[in-house]
Structure 1
Amino acid sequence: MRTEHGTAHGTAGAATDGHDLRHHGDAEVRDDGSALVDLAVNVRADTPPAWLRKVVAGSLDSLAAYPDGRAARAAVAARHGLSADRVLLTAGAAEAFVLLARALRPRRPVVVHPQFTEPEAALRDAGHTVGRVLLREEDGFRLDAAAVPEEADLVVIGNPTNPTSVLHPAAAVASLARPGRTLVVDEAFMDAVPGEREALAGRTDVPGLVVLRSLTKTWGLAGLRIGYVLAAPETIAELERAQPLWPVSTPALAAAEACVSPRALAEAARAADRIAADRAHLVAGLARFAPHGLRVVRPAEGPFVLVRLPGAAAVRHRLRGLGFAVRRGDTFPGLDERWLRLAVRDRRTVDGFLTALERAVSPAAR
């Protein structure tokens, strides 16, 4: 594990040190308009379910009125056993990163990488110099809390981490908290972990804790933009002042309230179990590519896996020709062109992908 200190303010493109921080998995699917099987975007494939589409559609009758987020905010608070003043609804978790960067004005922000790049991009765009703690492959990309500089007054970490699929122990993440430090934990994929073990959402005993959650991944609502922040009331108030008026639409509010209902939570728990089984099937299938130099980061705990493969960039292009999109890894700080991220899909899709991968890595394909 090593630490890098940022030396330059961000630019609109947010590309630093050769890493395009604004490259996301959707670009792998839409680049050339091809009809590709999507293993690049970390959104559950069989979503949104019919009952949720019905809820969203039913909200359209209320579009003439300005959005009223009180009921959704109360529902999210109840879901985590918190008071409503500890919840802020946002237009996806990505908006929360922008609010944090603009409202909190940290002097020494640090981002733990490899992870989702939008937090660093938002900080740089807000004019901050950003330090990096780079987790190492030889350590299994696991957190060493001692590597985070003591003087850091804002620390961002994902759990489970995108793209490594590492689930850090809650105690290790919480140990990053300090008086005067804001600890931002991106739990966008935590509801895909059976039992949400290692979650910090709902904790009020960790000083400076800010937890971000997304409802777009498990429920297939990326186009609707809905997420939320859990934090101390004074932090929520600061972030809320930085938001525009009516930042979350009426359909998104209806979806938020529905997605934290007991019925939805039970369905999400079943989905997490399915994801774990499908991920095990994918990892087992990838084992046969070890002679080709393929290595899976294990144990994987999220709805995706990270793999290292010699010639990964060429393999990715061959897979596109075979009808499959996967996520390049070289846009993540701490990774290079040898890495690919694969979203977990159902067994039939995975089997088709493994067949295509067999062709893509064969000597005849080169």
Structure 2
Amino acid sequence: MLEHGGNLRDAMRHYGGSDWIDLSTGINPLGYPAPPLAPDAWQRLPEPDPELLRAACAYYGAPHLLPVAGTQAAIQALPRLRAPSRITVAAPSYAEHAHHWGGHGHTLRQVPYAQLDAAVRDSDVVVVCNPNNPTGDTIEAAQLLAWRAELAARGGWLVVDEAFGDTAPALSVAGHADAEGLVVLRSVGKFFGLAGLRLGFVAAAPRLLAQLADLLGPWAVSGPAQAVALDALRDRAWQAATQERLLRDGARMRTLLASSGIEAGGTPLFHWWPEARPEAFHEHMARRAIWVRLFRQAARGIRLGLPAHEADWQRIERALRDWREQ
């Protein structure tokens, strides 16, 4: 199993202490307040709720969606829906894509974002995160749609992971996902701060969604997850206020990092930079009970999300000052 952020128990077990700030995931730390649930949300088998689909299609601007138990479920299943194919995954990106497309008889290669345009010509499937996780790099919607057309003309797919796309709606191609060869993944875990629900959506042409639904089987999304997500997707006032807060807090984090000599890229929800001494920085922050995400492989660097409270901001500022002055 691959290493991910959010493993705070490991940090506490290794370093001790209990008053930790977890910046390792890029999840909104002030997530949607889950409403009380009706008793039958727990008692009934979770049949699909058409109201949830309507709310999700309206929020994401997608013509067709399939609810899934987190986008991870779709990431693991999609490679099983194709015969052996030539797969290109943008790198660096969310590692689970390459991990799963690397099996099932497929031929996998990973290429930098700058080389994707050339790679489309001899690929059957191209997978990108937009905005990218962990770097925050982005690709314009028009470019993605051109790649989709080229791939679809020979029966290929473009898979676009928009898990962090809520704060960059102009980049989304979910509204075009009724076209053949386009698969878009969306998550309620990041922007809505509801990662524990394990709920995401796949936008694609109806035939592909039906194949994916058959593979995932019945009762794929819990009743409580559907009930909470329905409220969240309908609550436009909360969404608007959260967009403003995340833009403000993201700018604050970027300024705070710059004051410590760190020029970071990213999104409002997370920042990333190619740290020269990533292990040392990670250790420095952990010794101060601040858990950030360490990347050790080709994209050696650090990613950190946003804190929830003003006291947390002050602790992060002191830790960065100590790092700068050591």
Residue 88 of structure 1 and its aligned partner are, at CA, apart by 0.7
- The superposition leaves residues 213-259 of structure 1 with CA deviations (integer Å, 9 ceiling, x where unpaired) of 00011222222200010000111111111112211110111123222
Q: Alpha carbons of 1:149 and 1:79: their partners in 2 closer, same or farther (altered >3 Å)?
A: closer
Q: Does 1:88 align with 2:66?
A: yes
Paired residue type of 1:174 = L
Q: 8 Å contact 2:183–2:204 — kept in the other structure?
A: yes
Post-superposition offset of 1:267 = 1.7
Give 5+ residue unaligned stretches, structure 1: 1-12, 14-21, 136-142
Task: Identify if the C-alpha distance between structure 1 residues 216 and 187 changes in structure 2 by more than 3 Å, giving closer, same or farther.
Answer: same
What do residues 6-48 of structure 1 show as CA deviations (whole Å, max 9, x unaligned)? xxxxxxx4xxxxxxxx111112563334432111111111123
- 2:43 partner letter: A
Q: Superposed, which structure 2 residues align to 1:301-316 within 5 Å?
A: 301-316=267-282
Q: Is the 8 A contact 2:81 2:212 kept in 1?
A: yes
Say if 2:299 is the partner of 1:335.
Answer: yes
- Match status 1:357 vs 2:320: yes
Aligned: 1:111 with 2:89: yes
Q: Structure 1: how far apart are the matches of 2:126 and 2:208?
A: 15
Partners in 2 of 1:217 and 1:79 — Cα distance? Answer: 15
Matched residue, 2:40: 61
Question: Any idea what the Cα deviations from partners look like across 1:189-225, whole Å, max 9, x if unmatched?
Answer: 11133xx121111124754111100001122222220
The answer to whether 1:174 aligns with 2:153 is no
Letter in 1 for 2:93: Q
Query: Percent identity of the aligned residues?
Result: 29
| Residue from 250, 257, 261 that aligns with 1:286 | 257
Partners in 1 of 2:128 and 2:276 — Cα distance? 28
Kindly indicate whether the alpha-carbon contact (under 8 Å) linking 1:99 and 1:243 is maintained by their aligned counterparts in 2.
Answer: yes
Pick aligned residue for 1:184 from 153, 159, 168: 159
Change (3 A) 1:91 1:205: closer
**Alpha-carbon distance in structure 1 between the residues aligned to 2:49 and 2:285:** 46
Q: Residue by residue, what CA displacement relative to the aligned partner does 1:91-142 show, whole Å, maximum 9, x if unpaired?
A: 001101112111233511111111111111222354533111123xxxxxxx
1:43 has 2:27 as partner = yes
Structure 1 partner of 2:198: 225
User: Which residue in 2 is equivalent to 1:157?
Assistant: 128
The letter for the 2-side match of 1:154 is V
* Runs of at least 5 residues in structure 2 that lack an aligned partner in the other structure: none
Asked if 1 retains the 8 angstrom alpha-carbon contact of 2:32 and 2:232, the reply is no
Q: Which stretch of structure 1 is more off in the superposition, 37-46 or 164-173?
A: 164-173
Q: What SS does the corresponding residue of 1:175 show, helix, strand or coil? A: helix
TM-score, normalising length: structure 2: 0.89
* Rounded Cα–Cα distance in structure 2 between residues aligned with 1:92 and 1:328: 23
Q: Is the 8 A contact 1:278 1:347 kept in 2?
A: no
Aligned length: 316
Contact 1:154 1:182 in 2 (8 A): yes
Structure 1 80/219 Cα, relative in aligned 2: closer, same or farther at 3 Å? closer
Q: What residue is the counterpart of 1:273 in the other structure?
A: 244
Distance in 1 (alpha carbons) for counterparts of 2:143 and 2:107: 25
Matched, 1:245 2:221: no
Distance across 1 between alignment mates of 2:40 and 2:179: 42
For 2:46, the aligned partner's letter is: P
Letter paired with 2:10: R
Change (3 A) 1:202 1:147: same
CA separation in 2, counterparts of 1:168 and 1:190? Answer: 12
Instruction: Give the counterpart letter for 1:260 in structure 2.
Output: L
After TM superposition, give the deviation of residue 274 of structure 1 in Å: 1.4
| One-letter amino acid matched to 1:296 | A
Aligned counterpart in structure 2 of residue 214 of structure 1, from 168, 177, 187: 187
Q: Which amino acid aligns with 2:49?
A: R
| SS at 2:133 equivalent | coil
Provide the residue aligned with 1:6 in structure 2: none
Confirm or deny that 1:320 pairs with 2:282.
no
The amino acid that maps onto 2:29 is A
